[in-house]
A and B are shown apart, each in its own frame.
Chain A
């Protein structure tokens, strides 16, 4: 079952914050976040494991809410380099199933 991401697209000014959500109808064991720039491969950002632990990567952090079966990615004080499409992947029988993506555009 494919996870559902929201919103589908976000436009920000440099320095603004954004939140991207990833929800699943199935129980989550882990959520993997990736960023993909146009024409390039997805790049791994971080993994969230069952247990609600929040992780960080530069000014990008994420949380895992087991009860809601949801993970959220937080981008604070966004930079131009944050532009791209963000995907969450949920584990299913040994492989990742990806959401449809959230496109983030950061403008100067």
Chain B
């Protein structure tokens, strides 16, 4: 079990550019979550998938953000026309289905985005 992996670990981009991040969950996990974290704050929920279905997207999330999980395995998060306010750590997490309520989310190392 290699855990949740994310790529790239760091990304510096200029305002207005598009960026895409990848997350590979723990292999048997069917749920995948994206969070955003800024300095001094807790992780803020963005969206989550169960298999390939996107079940929820935060109402606070701009239309410039889109996420996919086409085959129910890895996921990508794309930010179009980046703004300086998008600078943050983007965290991916995965879990098994929560029907038993014994499960939890396991986080990847994150992708740190800096928009200049």
Contacts and interface: CB of A to CB of B under 8 A. Distances in A.
Interface of A: 2, 29-30, 32, 34, 40-44, 47, 49, 87, 89, 91, 93-101
B101 A100 contact: no
22 contacts: A30-B101, A32-B104, A41-B91, A42-B43, A42-B107, A43-B107, A44-B104, A44-B106, A49-B102, A87-B42, A89-B105, A91-B101, A94-B31, A94-B48, A94-B56, A95-B33, A96-B45, A98-B42, A98-B44, A100-B41, A100-B42, A101-B42
Overall SS of chain A's interface: strand
B40 interface: yes
A41 B102 contact: no
Contacts of B104: 32, 44, 47, 96
Given A94-B56, A99-B42, A47 B102 contact: yes
Contact of A29 (B33, B50, B101): B101
A52 to B, nearest CB: 15
A95 B56 contact: yes
B97 to A, nearest CB: 9
Given A41-B91, A95-B48, A101 B41 contact: yes
Contacts of B25: none
Nearest to B4: A41
Contact of A41 (B40, B98, B108): B108
Interface in B61-109: 91, 98, 101-102, 104-109
